Structure 1
Amino acid sequence: MTPEEQALRERQGPGARYDSPDAPARELAWARRGTAYFARKLNELSDTGLDGPSLLPGWSRRHVIAHVGYNARALTRLLTWARTGEETPMYASPQQRDTEIGLGASLPARALRHLFAHSETHLNTEWRDLPGPAWDAEVRTAQGRLVPARETAWMRTREVWVHALDLDNGASTRDFPPDLLDELAADVLRAWQRRKEQVRLTLAPTGRDPLVLGEDGGPTVSGAMPDLVRWLIGRGARGLESDSGDVPGIPRWF
């Protein structure tokens, strides 16, 4: 047993452990449910199916799985930072991230599946062990933003749910919890606002009040909320209608 594993075991102690009352309960529930969803879609793929293309240009399904696994490890480093106060960035460099994904994608199928399973278990353990005050400790994302450690739950939520779509084997935004769909749409709008994107658009979810973006709202895009969110997060325009004819192009999410 390594010193790190021994330290983890000592923290765990005997018996059951629970999240701190200060933990972000809603986001952790989304992240854990999304992890189970991603795991189910992964388990539906045969070993040879892992070699198939994903929805992400230039990436196979193997790349998506490796990315999701190593993302859990990167978030674990942020939780270590929050717990100890010692700076441990998500990645030493963008090159480290890309190298990890490339190497992970080349693993044998069993090892690649293990990477996902082990990393998500470790991340969940770190969440459970994080003391209350540490949830508000500031850490830095890979994009350079300073955020409280509680943001890691939302960061992971996005990764597992959205990349389940990218496996391209039947995952659908129609499987997403309705409140998660609302928060994903809000997250896209926040990202556009941070980057000062000039967006003129009216979103008209079925059965709900429209949302006007920009001074005059621009073209109106209407459809069911799951289909609107799929489009907003860059995974294709299906089941949508636009009063301008074609569904317009929009800025990227990340």
Structure 2
Amino acid sequence: MTSLHAELPYQELLDAVEESQVRVEASLEVLTDGQALEPSMLPGWSRGHVITHLARNADALNRFAIGVITGESAPEMYPGGPAARGAAIEEGAGRPAELLAADFRFAGRRVLDSLRLISEDRFEILVNWRKSVSARDIPVLRWRELEIHHVDLGLDYTAADWPWAFVEHTLRTELHELSALHPDVSVPDLPRAELLAWLVGRPTRAGLPPAPAWPF
């Protein structure tokens, strides 16, 4: 298993996640009801779908964090599996912008509070994400959700706005994964943020080689 946290200390990861949370909150403060119903950058999803997904992802990662703290690990990320996950997103997607923003704010801040309670002696406890990852990697999972889906909202935030630390941190781990799992894939020569956008399936220009579905 490749660790996701690379060299960043746990506290620095949490601070970065909090900064990403605040940036999304700022975008949602000015979101109108009409904009919430409009299509996002993700096929088949409105902005309301993306925001609801971000809130339910926070709930899921919070269950992981609480399990690590209490020693009663959550057996799966989304109780009820993919069908229940999809139903929850559909149910919440059509809410007014104010409720979407409040849901996102509460869920996102709650998981941050829980993650701050994970002590160093519990960092190596495994949780059952798509693959087993350590507890110290949970902030990375949230960081990626916030930054990538902020772009997917199609509002005022693009790959060019990604923090340098996020771009470099993610490229360090994910280019390694790509090379290990898909050695025949040609990696394009691009500026770093554009390279990451290509890697995670959000290419910023036409004519690039196809990338495998991410996460690998």
TM-score (norm 2): 0.87
1:90 aligns with 2:90: no
Q: CA RMSD in A?
A: 1.9
Residue number among 59, 65, 71 corresponding to 1:73 in the alignment: 59
Residue number among 199, 203, 206 corresponding to 2:184 in the alignment: 199
Residue number among 33, 43, 49 corresponding to 2:35 in the alignment: 49
Instruction: Tell me which amino acid in the other structure corresponds to 2:114.
Output: E
Query: Where has structure 1 moved over 4 Å in runs of 4 or more?
Result: none
Residue number among 197, 205, 216 corresponding to 1:230 in the alignment: 197
Instruction: Check the 8 A contact 2:32/2:97 in 1, yes or no.
Output: no
Instruction: Check the 8 A contact 2:36/2:97 in 1, yes or no.
Output: yes
Task: Compare CA radii of gyration and give the structure with the larger one.
Answer: 1
Q: State the Cα distance separating 1:193 from its structure 2 match.
A: 4.7
Partner deviation per Cα, 1:5-43 (whole Å, 9 max, x = no partner): xxxxxxxxxxxxxxxxxx712321221111112112222
The answer to which of 62-71 and 92-101 deviates more is: 92-101
The answer to which of 46-55 and 87-96 deviates more is: 87-96
Instruction: Check the 8 A contact 2:65/2:115 in 1, yes or no.
Output: yes
Instruction: Tell me which amino acid in the other structure corresponds to 2:213.
Output: R
1:166 aligns with 2:152: yes
RCO greater where, 1 or 2, for CA within 8 Å and sep 6 or more?
2
1:153 aligns with 2:153: no
Q: Structure 2: which 5+ runs fail to align?
A: 1-8
Q: Structure 1: which 5+ runs fail to align?
A: 1-22, 203-220, 241-245
TM-score (norm 1): 0.74
Q: State the Cα distance separating 1:179 from its structure 2 match.
A: 2.3
Q: Kindly tell me: are residues 33 and 133 of structure 1, through their superposed partners in 2, closer, same or farther at Cα, counting changes over 3 Å?
A: same
Instruction: Check the 8 A contact 1:188/1:253 in 2, yes or no.
Output: no
**Between the two proteins, what is the percent identity of the paired residues?**
28
SS in 1 for 2:213: coil
Partner deviation per Cα, 1:219-238 (whole Å, 9 max, x = no partner): xx333222222222111233
| Bigger fraction of residues in helix | 2
Instruction: Tell me which amino acid in the other structure corresponds to 1:121.
Output: R
SS in 2 for 1:139: strand
